[in-house]
Structure 1
Amino acid sequence: MTVAGIGRERHRDAQAHGSGRGFRPDVEGLRAVALGMVLLFQAGAPVVRAGNIGVDVFFVISGFLITGLLVREAERTGRVSLRDFYARRVRRILPSAAAVVLATLLGAALLLPAERVSAIARDAVAASLQVANWWLLSFGHDALGEEVAHSPLKHYWTLAVEEQFYLVWPLLVLVVARRARAGRLRRDLTVALAVLSAASFAACVVLTARAGLFGYLSTVTRAWQFGAGGLLALAVPWIGARCAGGRGAVLLRSAGWAGAVVLALSAVVANRLPYPGGIALVPTLATVALIAAGTGGSGRGSVGRVLSSAPLRACGRLSYVWYLWHVPAAVLAVDVLGVTSWWAVLAVELAAVVPALLTARFVEGPLRFSPLVAASARRGLVLGVVTTALTLTAGLALA
């Protein structure tokens, strides 16, 4: 399957479930914007001092798309198949993640001293078990110290947070779907998700101030950002009914441009407050506004038209595997080649598009969209067991 073919399949398989009007090219483009902020921030670019908010954007997008998928299934069938859901997550996430972990371990074993290889191997074990965020927290105040800061797998904490959230959220959707009366599913889910998100946001504010890195890395303090995207997905029919044209359409376009401006300012203004905390509400709501604006279409004069441009969409399709590769590429370049300037690190991160393309072509596409694997949820779950076992075994062997 070609990369273009993978992109077309991904359109139908993922994003179409998150909106009321099918595939959302603007959301795909927004992924590229989030990735760009992350790359600039990780490289140390002086302009983007708070580019870590790109992770916040990814969290909101994920909450929007996955909640849309779950709710549409519940509305259509009256239930949620947990086996099918987790099998889809496995095919989407684990093969590429495992490929990058294995390649990183191989590169480390060939190029780095034994003690560095051992430390990276322990990180690989945590990444394989989807607990990288809690593994980093086990280092206490040194969680972003020199050893961890130079780990090529440190960014797997974001995958761990996402997968931990999705162990719980589908179960809640399933319970509400079984108990909700006819026509009240979205309302009941909105109440449940609003309560969950409010509690998570309160924990984020309190624990960021009192517990530092726990607020940054914990699933408890990040769940509300997925919830923000989920609440928007639940509100899509309401938004569509009230903003179909006229003043409503103007309001949506204005909200989109306002969200874009706020998000850009958030990325270039240095964070002088503990993060995420309450300040994370700003880029999170800006992202919600950008996605909400696209529910009215991406016509002339809308920010969605910019986000739907072909270059952004192409980068957005690769954003996941590119995100996986950019940190190993940068860290190994620093350790092996002695790269120090931010622009050189950024160049290496941009060059990571090459292994990203190869991973999409030879790993993600064949396994995610294989008729053999996708034929049953059981095969998808077996794929998850196999890929986890491979990375776990490699990590334990080198650790």
Structure 2
Amino acid sequence: MATNEILGRPGTGYIRSLDGLRALAVIIVILSHAEVAGFGGGKTGVLIFFVLSGYLITSILLRELDRTDRLSLKRFYARRFLRLYPALIIVTAATAAIAAVLLTRTANPSAQSTLNALPSVLLYFNNWVPIFAPGTDMGLFSHFWSLAVEEQFYVVWPLLLLAIYKWRRARGVLLVALIGALLSIVFKVFVWDGGGSRQGGTDFASDGLLLGCALAAFLAISTPPKWMGRWLFWVALASLALATTVGYSGSGDPAAYELFGRVFWPVAVLAATAVVFGLATGRAPRVAVRVLELRGMVYLGRISYGMYLWHILVLTAARFVTDSPLLLAAITLVVTIGVASASFYLVERPFLRRKQRYENDPSAANADEAQYGSRTTATQP
């Protein structure tokens, strides 16, 4: 990831602030898992990742279709594999090794659950396991549900997008993505019964991905009206903050969990889309852009995939040191950044270079390198 392009409207190139937004998202998730006060609705960080994923991938695919009127699925899936799987293998192996060691010393139920979850994690269907087998504990892989959601999206969406594009080009993509997102939101608000780990279902979580897809298609075919300005960004940012601080996205409190799914999730995913829109079109307030473009924020955005992968393992180890949420969060952030940086330079970056053989558009290739696997998280945000 020597360069880290993120696409706005096709042809606009690198948008540093979107990397900063990615950093903000992973920090929200980590603070939530560390149980820091005010971050009970930390799943909003994952929703930001979902919107970014849909937006970025669709921008890349539409650019290729617009330029060549063809889509190389082989190149696309090869890029996804080389971008996501090497780091996943390393984290999974390390986590499984630690779980196996724990089992040799004590009958640790979480360790056994972690080992039991290995096949579903490696095959990217672990988000469905707690849904079809209620009460199943995914152990130290509990946060990997969002990675499964995104990978399932990567498998299906390019095929669907190609068919839609041949039908009605980018306008058809916009229409289908909006309808799909609306159906997902309606399901949450009016149909969902609030039970179990349903929030991890791909159908439940597809609204953010599809809104990101719709945004990419919208920006590819039209110039946004002037009324979509800074005020929309501030309202969206305030809504995200409200969902994060007031909402509760863990399943420990069923009533609060259901409220998050029915109310705060839809609010947060719409707000995340508006924030990405503001940054991608240059209509976000300058002060917000400057903060997100700080060198440290951009760097954390670049390594956010590794941070997401490693942070639960680091957090679990840090709990042996302290019970203070703030100190726990601080230790987890510092160590996670270090481990994720090592993962980035030693594992991810070499494979990203190998990935270039599957590219036919250097700018799209660079944009692809920024993708979360994310990445951006059943019962945990």
Instruction: Give distance in 1, aligned partners of 2:294 and 2:10.
Output: 19
* Alignment-derived partner of residue 254 in structure 1: 231
The question of 1:285 aligning with 2:270 is answered yes
- 2:16 alignment counterpart: 25
Instruction: Please point out which of 120, 125, 131 is paired with 2:125.
Output: 131
1:381 corresponds in structure 2 to: none
User: What's 1:328 paired with?
Assistant: 313
Q: Note the C-alpha offset of 1:70.
A: 1.0
* 8 Å CA contact 2:99, 2:112 repeated in 1: no
Tell me the distance in 2 between the aligned counterparts of 1:18 and 1:121.
43
Normalization by structure 1: what TM-score?
A: 0.80
1:321 Cα deviation from its structure 2 partner: 0.4
Q: Where does 1:1-399 land on structure 2 (aligned, <5 Å)?
A: 6=1, 8-11=2-5, 15-16=6-7, 19-112=10-103, 113=106, 115-116=108-109, 117-140=111-134, 142-143=135-136, 147-148=137-138, 151-180=139-168, 185-208=169-192, 210-237=193-220, 241-243=223-225, 248=226, 251-271=228-248, 272=256, 273-297=258-282, 301=286, 303-334=288-319, 337=320, 339-350=322-333, 351-370=335-354, 374-376=356-358
Secondary structure of 1:276's counterpart equals: helix
User: AA paired with 1:121?
Assistant: L
Gap change, CA 1:237 and 1:171, over 3 Å in 2 = closer
Displacement, 1:115? 5.0
Tell me if structure 2 keeps the 8 A contact 1:17–1:66. Answer: no
- Return the structure number with greater relative CO, CA threshold 8 A, min gap 6: 2
Aligned in 2, Cα 1:332/1:137: closer, same or farther, shift over 3 Å?
farther
Residue 256 of structure 1 contacts residue 303 of structure 1 at CA under 8 Å; is this kept in 2? Answer: no
Q: What is the alpha-carbon distance in structure 2 between the residues aligned to residue 42 and residue 138 of structure 1?
A: 25
What value does the CA root-mean-square deviation take over the aligned residues?
2.3
Structure 1 position 284, deviation (Å): 1.1
Give the aligned partner of residue 368 of structure 2: none
Shift of 1:51: 1.4
CA distance in 2, matches of 1:72, 1:58: 21
> Structure 1: which amino acid aligns with 2:217?
L
Q: Choose 306-315 or 341-350, whichever is displaced more.
A: 341-350
Identity %: 29
Q: Return 211-220 or 125-134, whichever deviates more.
A: 211-220
Computing the radius of gyration over CA atoms, which structure comes out larger, 1 or 2?
A: 1
Q: Compute the TM-score of the two structures, normalised by the length of structure 2.
A: 0.84
Assess if the C-alpha contact under 8 Å between 1:18 and 1:65 holds in 2.
Answer: no
- Tell me if the contact between 1:368 and 1:374 (Cα under 8 Å) persists in the aligned partners: yes
Alpha-carbon distance in structure 2 between the residues aligned to 1:279 and 1:265: 8
Structure 1 or 2: more helix by fraction: 1
Q: Residues of 1 paired with 2:79 and 2:9: CA distance? A: 15
Instruction: Tell me if the contact between 1:257 and 1:303 (Cα under 8 Å) persists in the aligned partners.
Output: no
**1:63: how far off?**
0.8
Task: Report the CA distance between 1:176 and its aligned residue.
Answer: 1.8
**Which amino acid counterpart does residue 280 of structure 2 have in structure 1?**
T
Letter in 2 for 1:171: L
Residue segments in structure 2 that go unaligned for 5+ positions in a row: 249-255, 360-381
The 1:100/1:355 distance shift into structure 2, 3 A limit, reads: same
